[in-house]
Amino acid sequence: MLTIITTSYTFLVLIIGIIGIIRYKWLSLPFKLLTWSSFMACLLAILSQILNARYRNNKPILHLESITEFVFYSVIYYYLFKNKIIKKAIIVSIIVFSVSFLINAIFFQPFFKLFPSNIDLPKQVLFAIFSLLLFKEMLLYPLKINIINQSIFWFNTAMLFFATTMFFNLGITNYLARYIRYDNILVYFWYLIIYLFHILICIALLTENKKFTLSDAG
- Based on CB atoms, which residue is closest to another protein, 96 or 192? 192
Chain centroid to CA 91: how far?
Answer: 17
Among 138, 187, 199, 206, binds another protein (CB under 8 A): 138
What residues contact 177, with CB distance under 8 A and at least 6 apart? none
Range in contact with another protein (rule: CB under 8 A) among 32-40, 42-50, 86-94, 171-179: 171-179
Q: Are 207 and 34 in contact (CB under 8 A)?
A: no
Range in contact with another protein (rule: CB under 8 A) among 18-26, 30-38, 84-92, 155-163: 155-163
- Based on CB atoms, which residue is closest to another protein, 101 or 127? 127
Sequential DSSP letters for 85-103? HHHHHHHHHHHHHHHHHHH
Binding to another protein (CB under 8 A) within 178-217 occurs at 179, 182, 189
Q: How far is CA 55 from CA 18, 38, 60, 111, 132, in A?
A: 30, 25, 11, 14, 40
Q: Are 163 and 128 in contact (CB under 8 A)?
A: yes
Min separation Cβ 172 and another protein, Å? 7
Residue 85 within binding range of another protein, rule CB under 8 A = no
Residue 142 within binding range of another protein, rule CB under 8 A = yes
- Based on CB atoms, which residue is closest to another protein, 11 or 175? 175
Range in contact with another protein (rule: CB under 8 A) among 23-31, 89-97, 121-129, 160-168: 160-168
Three-state DSSP class for residue 137? helix
Among 40, 61, 76, 160, binds another protein (CB under 8 A): 160
Site string for another protein, 98-137 (x = CB under 8 A): -------------------------------------x--
Range in contact with another protein (rule: CB under 8 A) among 55-63, 71-79, 95-103, 172-180: 172-180
Burial of 76 (0-12, 13-18, 19+ CB in 10 A): buried
Binding to another protein (CB under 8 A) within 39-58 occurs at none
Range in contact with another protein (rule: CB under 8 A) among 79-87, 98-106, 108-116, 173-181: 173-181
Whose CA is closest to 193, among 156, 168, 215, 218? 168
Helix axis angle, 59-80 to 151-176, nearest 10° = 150
